[in-house]
Amino acid sequence: MSRIISFLAASAAALVCTGVQAAPPAIAADAPDSYTVVKGDTLWGISGRFLEEPWRWPEVWRMREGQASSQHLIYPGQVIILDRRGPYLQVGKPVGGGKAEDKAMAVGGDVMLQPKIYQMPVEEAVSTIPLKSIAPFLTRPLVIETRTIDDAATIVATETNRVYLAQGDTVFAKDLRPDVDKWSIFRPGKPLIDQTRRKRLGYEVQYLGSARVTERTDPVTLEIIEAVEEIGTGDLMLPTEGNLVFSYAPHAPGEAIDARLISIYRGVAETGKLNVIAISAGKLAGLEPGHVLALFRDRGTVAYKNKDAKAAKTLALPEKRYGSVLVFRVFDNVSYALIMNTDGQATIGDAVRNP
């Protein structure tokens, strides 16, 4: 159980607003004065009820630097109060009906919040984004570079010589690190290409399963503990990273980002809200988990001929900003992001830049 102080709120990220914006966040046209949090809400979704740009919610919580901690979480049943003068958001347990200690006083139409300590499980706290949408991407290898492939361990034999291995089966592998017992099994997939720069950024990974060392023989003996695809001789292995926790407040990158949408999960050509995409920029470009980027669609060109002109003139139409994404996992030259909102379909080749 965690002690939660109800009038303080932040995300599991425990971050404050980063950077100074030119103008305060704009309030949504139909923003309510208050909202009661329900199970299944996310901080992004809640903020979207109040702000035109939901990702700027850390700016309206008024959290002092160093103030936020893992204790300052938002839970179902709490009420978000909008102060339009900032704008600012406050979270508290409203008082007004029910137990005496949960009573509130209405003064001039305003709800007064009573600081109080409540006992609630941390697991029930509201997350930044829908974690179920990105959970598989936090526990598995996604992108590998050529040098990573060269350093990977390799399955050299199976005990039963069966084509498909199941949980509990035995495999033998070489080139394992002596200090690692749990390994993720994968197969290099399609190359990730930045078509604009005609550059290969790495390979997408086909995750096959995982294995655990049972004997430090030569070759090493391992037991399959998960098999989601066919596993066999020649497949590669990398140390399992463990459960990564996505707990970052959204914020704009400090560097200028000019990337492209280069891949969509499951190999489709276009996708929409709450789907995962890969973009052609990563750590080396200054990206980090929690960065928010905007999606831009190329509207193409049009040929226009003035009645007095001898030939038509080709005009490039301006791009359309049609959505936003939240970066949640970053590699050297590639990042994975979740589409948070979009006006239409996101398509491979679309531009991805600063919001």
Q: What is the pLDDT of residues 146-199, one digit of tens each?
A: 778 888 999 999 887 676 788 899 999 999 999 999 999 999 888 888 877 788
pLDDT of 139 reads 64
Q: What is the pLDDT of residues 272-296, one digit of tens each?
A: 998 999 999 999 999 999 999 999 9
pLDDT of 22 reads 57
Average pLDDT over residues 32-53: 90
Give the predicted TM-score (pTM) of the model: 0.70
C-alpha to C-alpha distance for 259 and 216, rounded to whole angstroms: 44
Residue 293's DSSP bridge partners are 325
Residue with tokens 């599991």: 12
Query: Residue 221 burial (CB < 10 Å; 0-12/13-18/19+)?
Result: middle
pLDDT of 244 reads 59
Model confidence at 118: pLDDT above 50: no
* Torsion sign over Cα 142, 145, 148, 152: positive
Model confidence at 12: pLDDT above 80: no
pLDDT of 141 reads 65
pLDDT of 205 reads 86
Model confidence at 16: pLDDT above 80: no
Residue with tokens 């090493």: 220
Q: What is the pLDDT of residues 224-259, one digit of tens each?
A: 999 988 898 999 999 987 665 566 778 899 999 999
Model confidence at 262: pLDDT above 50: yes
Give residue 319's region: left, alpha or beta (phi > 0; psi -120 to 50).
beta
pLDDT of 97 reads 43
Residue with tokens 């990398």: 238
Q: What is the mean pLDDT of the chain?
A: 79
Percent of the chain with pLDDT over 70: 78
Q: What is the pLDDT of residues 53-107, one digit of tens each?
A: 988 888 887 644 333 444 457 788 889 889 898 888 887 655 444 443 343 333 3
Model confidence at 306: pLDDT above 70: yes
pLDDT of 68 reads 41
Domain ranges, ordered by start, for the chain: 2-129, 140-239, 258-353
> For the domain bounded by 258-353, which CATH number is listed?
2.40.10.410
Model confidence at 137: pLDDT above 50: yes
Nearest to 209 by CA among 146, 158, 165: 165
Q: What is the 3-state secondary structure (H, E, C) of the chain?
A: CEEEECCCCCCCCCCCCCCCCCCCCCECCCCCCEEECCCCCEHHHHHHHHECCHHHHHHHCCCCCCCCCCCCCCCCCCEEEEECCCCEEEEECCCCCCCHHHCCCEECCEECCCCCEEEECHHHCCECCCHHHCHHHHCCCCEECHHHHHHCEEEEEECCCCCCCCCCCEEEEECCCCCCCEEEEEEEEEEEEECCCCEEEEEEEEEEEEEEEEECCCCEEEEEEEECCCCCCCCEEEECCCCCCCCCCCECCCCCCEEEEEEEHHHCCEECCCCEEEECCCHHHCCCCCEEEEEEECCCEEEECCCCCCCCEEEECCCEEEEEEEEEEECCCCEEEEEEEECCCEECCCEEECC
Token representation of residue 243:
């459960």
Model confidence at 349: pLDDT above 70: yes
Cα→Cα distances 29→26, 32, 94, Å: 9, 9, 25
pLDDT of 50 reads 92
Average pLDDT over residues 346-353: 94
Q: Which residue has the higher pLDDT, 188 or 145?
A: 188
pLDDT of 108 reads 36
Token representation of residue 118:
């409540």
Least confident window among 13-22, 157-166, 204-213, 227-236:
13-22
pLDDT of 245 reads 59
